[in-house]
């Protein structure tokens, strides 16, 4: 096999930052000077801050910026919030802000944390008798898992968290000789990934050591890892009001709006093709706040989408009911979030975002994030069932199109004014620009 390909490199991680950049420029870029200037333009002028960013990940060459916006006027459990949102998509912050203002005048959002249990698993195989394994785990060594992990759990237990339970799960019906140690944890204000994984690796060591002494069959630990599916780490957020109170400039007929809105949610509940886009809109709001607060939006995404399919078919994360003249709209989702550790104590803008949110604990942040997702979905469905999604979205997207065509400030002023009374589409903007320039 040919291994010495032209663009391969050994020891890349050992190169200095400038050496990494030089190799990339020399290998992949025709205009090296322009590419280098772009990389350096996104460096922070504060050397200490830049070094901090460089050390977040490996092989850093520069920073990749996303806009940090703010959606104000969120009344959640009688507390008013301005919510930070880090996202690149047009109209997300605007839609959240508009939904917040709408519900501010109708009692605001209500949110509650239903449970905070997190999960980790030791995956292993065992070719002996399953009954012997069950008795051995439950009656002989279960306490040893807790005892051997004391050096890891001591501080967490002092704060009121720790390991909640460890159970054996027999999965041999799905895969030959396959079992799990299924552990549940309370990690309080920490997301807890490192804590959980450290505990699981200790469980695995204990299991291997003890099994070699007492079990007749062969036991092999495959891996030990937390799960990002946390169906018992749940938060619920909702809004409700009398149907007639839905009336506004955009909703002249509240009864018809409520009927149409509920139908739109029901379609997302039963139609996976719609549900995926419906839930993507919810995640526009959720991911933006998760990212702004230094949490792991990829873990949240994976867990939330698994939850959406928990009943065997992918479905809506939000639900709507109209009962006795009252409109109710709610979301119930799993969110494993942290407000201590990780980037929350390192990234200056994460600290800024947390202070903006009045320094929430993990439960408070769960409520805020769930509300952001619910508000985003309300805004999207309100547009879909009234004016249509493109009218508002394309007006927000207008500036992106103008920037693509390098419009001058004078051109932007004229075109923004023009499109206050005209429909925004990509082709109509191009036509308007060409007309001005000709």
The tokens for 384 are 């879909």
How far is 149 from 172, CA to CA, in rounded Å? Answer: 28
Q: Given 280, 359, 422, 435, which residue is catalytic?
A: 280
296 is catalytic: yes
The tokens for 404 are 């693509």
φ and ψ of 105, to 5 deg: -85, 0
Provide the pairing of β-strand 234-242 with 326-334.
antiparallel
The tokens for 339 are 């407000």
Do residues 96 and 372 touch, judged by C-beta distance below 8 A?
yes
88 is catalytic: no
User: Within the chain, how many helices (H) and strands (E) appear?
Assistant: 16, 10
123-150 b/e with 16+ CB inside 10 Å = b?
Answer: bbbbeeeeeebeebbeeebbeebbebbe
Closest CA to 316 of 283, 284, 285, 270: 270
Do residues 415 and 407 touch, judged by C-beta distance below 8 A?
yes
Q: Given 22, 54, 89, 245, which residue is catalytic?
A: 89
Q: Given 186, 201, 296, 364, which residue is catalytic?
A: 296
Do residues 381 and 258 touch, judged by C-beta distance below 8 A?
no
Q: How many CA atoms lie within 13 A of 95 on its CB side?
A: 34
176 is catalytic: no
In the chain, what's the furthest Cα-to-Cα distance? 87
89 is catalytic: yes
Please list the active-site residues.
89, 280, 296, 393
């Amino acid at each position: 096999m040919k291994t010495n390909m032209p663009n391969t490199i050994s020891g890349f991680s050992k190169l200095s930052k400038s050496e990494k950049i030089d190799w990339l420029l020399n290998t992949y870029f025709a205009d090296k000077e322009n590419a280098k200037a772009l990389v350096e333009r996104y460096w922070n002028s504060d050397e200490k801050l830049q070094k901090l960013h460089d050390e977040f990940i490996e092989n850093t060459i520069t920073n990749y910026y996303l806009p940090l916006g703010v959606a104000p006027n969120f009344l959640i459990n009688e507390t008013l919030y301005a919510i930070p949102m880090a996202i690149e998509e047009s109209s997300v912050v605007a839609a959240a802000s508009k939904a917040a203002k709408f519900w501010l005048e109708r009692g605001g959002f209500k949110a509650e944390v239903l449970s905070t249990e997190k999960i980790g698993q030791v995956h292993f195989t065992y070719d002996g008798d399953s009954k012997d394994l069950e008795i051995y785990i439950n009656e002989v060594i279960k306490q040893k898992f807790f005892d051997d992990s004391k050096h890891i759990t001591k501080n967490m237990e002092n704060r009121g968290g720790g390991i909640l339970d460890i159970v054996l799960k027999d999965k041999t019906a799905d895969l030959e000789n396959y079992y799990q140690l299924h552990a549940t944890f309370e990690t309080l204000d920490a997301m807890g990934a490192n804590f959980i994984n450290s505990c699981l690796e200790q469980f695995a060591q204990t299991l291997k050591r003890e099994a070699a002494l007492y079990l007749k069959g062969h036991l092999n630990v495959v891996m030990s890892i937390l799960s990002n599916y946390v169906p018992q780490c749940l938060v619920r957020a909702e809004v409700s009001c009398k149907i007639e109170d839905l009336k506004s400039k955009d909703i002249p007929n509240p009864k018809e709006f409520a009927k149409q809105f509920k139908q739109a949610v029901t379609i997302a509940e039963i139609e996976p093709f719609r549900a995926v886009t419906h839930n993507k809109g919810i995640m526009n709001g959720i991911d933006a706040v998760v990212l702004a607060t230094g949490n792991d939006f990829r873990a949240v995404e994976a867990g939330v989408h698994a939850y959406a399919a928990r009943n065997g078919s992918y479905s809506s994360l939000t639900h709507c009911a109209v009962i006795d003249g009252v409109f109710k709209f709610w979301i119930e989702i799993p969110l494993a979030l942290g407000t201590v550790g990780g980037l929350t104590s390192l990234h200056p803008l994460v600290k800024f975002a947390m202070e903006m949110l009045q320094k929430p604990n993990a439960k408070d942040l769960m409520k805020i994030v769930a509300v952001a997702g619910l508000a985003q979905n309300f805004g999207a469905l309100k547009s879909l069932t009234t004016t249509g999604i493109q009218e508002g979205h394309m007006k927000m997207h207008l500036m992106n199109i103008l920037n693509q065509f390098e419009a001058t400030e004078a051109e932007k002023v004229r075109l923004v004014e023009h499109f206050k009374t005209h429909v925004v589409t990509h082709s109509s903007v191009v036509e308007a620009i060409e007309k001005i320039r000709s």
